[in-house]
Structure 1
Amino acid sequence: MRICYVAINASDLKGSTVADYLVSIEASLKVVDGSDVIYQEPYFPVAELARELARWVLLGEKRAPDFVFASLSFEEPGAVRILRSGAGWTVGSMFTPETRSSLISWDELAAHIDDFVTNVRRDVHALGISPGFIDS
């Protein structure tokens, strides 16, 4: 399972508040499991997802509830969902409820989340924006 993206941009950024950054830094997002596409979205708020995933993964496996992404950009929560399932976790989306990733361990999931968050921080910085708001 991987959360990846291309074409990060801030072309819709009009203000300088944290909320402005969270909803305006977008990219074409794809959640994949092997060769299967679990979910994809062309204008996804990747900075907001990175911020929420970074906070969630810090809870650790024992304390972490199911992750249901509640975005300022979507009317309903669940564009990305990470659900505890038996001895592991699955990743999916409310937009594609019939498709989920295979079972993944917490350690592997946390490593993929860390990679995603690190990449978003790097690419936000490359846009000329300090990525500190992702950690605030």
Structure 2
Amino acid sequence: MSAPRAVVFACGSLGAPDLPRRGLSAGSAPLAVLLLDVEADLELRDGDRTVWSERAFPVAELARTLSSWLSLPDRERADFAFDSMAYDAPGAVRIAPEADGWRVGSVHAPGSWTTPMEWAALRAGLVEFVEAVRTGVAELGVDPDLVVPRCSRTG
């Protein structure tokens, strides 16, 4: 297995630029709209290598889904395939266990995966991403607990 290290979900330019077009503000938008409209330029990195990136990605929805997945008991946690309201098919972000660790990738870059990593390293990277999105949501003036709950499990 590779040395412990976290996958990096780099999140740039977090905002909700479509809310004004909808006649809403961050404080008045319903949860379903916030989940889609709080977006950022997302880059999935493995060390210095970019595995996949997407502009204006629904990071609040991804963070909320990852938080729920991370909170599952270990015995109930299966592969992860992000099933977004914004995409026709699931898997914009995929996480899969293999014999030598966990790997992260995307259906939009089928041949590109992270190198295998230990669960603790993967979890650390995912929790860091969830917390970064929570911070960004709070900076928009929205209660982050409403949009992206904290990850409730430590292991």
SS at match of 1:97: strand
Aligned equivalent of 1:94, options 93, 107, 113: 107
Instruction: Tell me which of 71, 84, 89 is aligned to 1:76.
Output: 89
TM-score (normalizing by structure 2): 0.83
The match for 2:16 among 10, 14, 27 is 10
TM-score by length of 1: 0.95
Between the aligned partners of 1:32 and 1:43, the Cα distance in structure 2 is: 17
Cα distance in 1 for residues equivalent to 2:116 and 2:74: 14
* 52-61 or 91-100, which deviates more: 52-61
Equivalences for residues 1-136 of structure 1 within 5 A: 1-13=7-19, 14=22, 15=24, 16-132=29-145, 133-135=147-149
- 2:36 aligns to what SS in structure 1? helix
User: What SS does the corresponding residue of 1:98 show, helix, strand or coil?
Assistant: strand
Whether the aligned pair in 2 keeps the contact of 1:61 and 1:106 (CA below 8 Å) is: no
In 1, the alpha carbon distance for the partners of 2:43 and 2:100 equals 25
Q: Secondary structure of 2:112's partner? A: coil
How far 1:24 sits from its partner (Å)? Answer: 0.2
Runs of 4 or more consecutive aligned structure 1 residues displaced over 2 Å after TM superposition = 60-63
The percentage of counterpart residues that share the same residue type is: 36
Unmatched 5+ stretches in structure 2: 1-6, 151-155
Which SS does the other structure have where 2:75 is aligned? coil
Larger radius of gyration: 2
1:112, 1:52 → 2: CA distance? Answer: 15
In structure 2, distance between residues paired with 1:38 and 1:117 = 19
Deviations 1:24-79 (A, max 9, x none): 00000000001111110011000000000001011144321100000011111000
| 3-state SS, counterpart of residue 10 of structure 2 | strand
Q: 1:105 to 1:62 in 2, by over 3 A?
A: farther
